[in-house]
């Protein structure tokens, strides 16, 4: 299954705010349709929606998310927390969390077009896994800097999580440590995602 390229508003209306997918917020809807169909969600649907939130927020294909779940399952510690750490330490997500891109798809485009360096070397793989002490910089070219400056100027200036640092005038960010669960920028119950996949096998 390929990466989702359809209408983003449709997804946030169903799943709630997904800052990685779009800067738009869902409209609070109290229309007649909702009043006529208050139906109770099944456990399967609740787990599926949590999985879809994770998938669309981080911009992953089904296959990619499944791969991350398998890696997290083999690691020490809580599978759900390890899964979130793996996703949050992706280069495209780190650019987004630093405010160098407004959404994860924008961050992915910057990386694919070779505007981003990690520890001085160009990295053009959005899924590149960053580690503590990695330094992320913008390529020393006017086009690259002006693109990122536009994103920095238009970003909503949300607080940068404690595991990251931003030096905007140097177009530089750094990874200080492995992410703590409380700094995840998405309201998600990761255990339901793990449950969803454990019941599929």
Phi, psi of 31 (to 5 degrees): -80, 175
Q: Indicate whether 124 belongs to any domain.
A: yes
Q: Indicate whether 2 belongs to any domain.
A: no
Report the domain count for the chain. 2
- Spatial contact of 162 and 156, defined as CB atoms under 8 Å apart: no
Tens digit of each residue's pLDDT (9 = 90 or more) over 59-93: 888 899 999 999 999 998 889 999 999 999 999 99
* Domain span including residue 103: 90-177
Tens digit of each residue's pLDDT (9 = 90 or more) over 115-174: 999 999 999 999 999 999 999 999 989 998 998 888 888 766 567 888 899 998 899 999
> Is residue 152 located within the same domain as residue 187?
no
Q: What is the model's pLDDT at position 57?
A: 83
| Collapsed DSSP state (helix, strand, coil) of residue 166 | strand
- Cα distances (angstroms) measured from residue 13 to each of 10, 42, 88, 117: 5, 19, 24, 35
> Is residue 21 located within the same domain as residue 64?
yes
Mean predicted lDDT score pLDDT of the chain: 81
> Is residue 100 located within the same domain as residue 79?
no
């Amino acid at each position: 299954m390929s990466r989702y390229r359809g209408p983003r508003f449709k997804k946030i209306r169903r799943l709630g705010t997904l800052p990685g997918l779009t800067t738009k917020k869902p409209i609070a809807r109290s229309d007649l349709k909702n009043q006529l169909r208050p139906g109770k969600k099944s456990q399967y649907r609740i787990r599926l929606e949590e999985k879809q939130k994770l998938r669309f927020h981080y911009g992953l294909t089904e296959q990619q998310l499944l791969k991350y779940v398998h890696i997290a399952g083999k690691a020490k510690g809580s599978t759900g927390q390890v899964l979130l750490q793996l996703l949050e330490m992706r280069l495209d997500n780190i650019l987004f969390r630093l405010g160098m891109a407004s959404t994860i798809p924008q961050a992915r485009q910057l990386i694919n077009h070779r505007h981003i360096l990690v520890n001085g070397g160009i990295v053009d793989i959005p899924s590149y896994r960053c580690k503590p002490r990695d330094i992320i910089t913008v390529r020393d070219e006017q086009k690259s800097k002006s693109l990122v400056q536009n994103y920095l100027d238009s970003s909503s200036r949300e607080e940068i999580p404690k595991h990251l640092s931003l030096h905007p005038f140097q177009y530089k960010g750094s990874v200080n440590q492995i992410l703590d669960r409380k700094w995840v920028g998405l309201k998600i119950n990761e255990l339901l995602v793990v449950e969803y996949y454990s019941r599929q096998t």
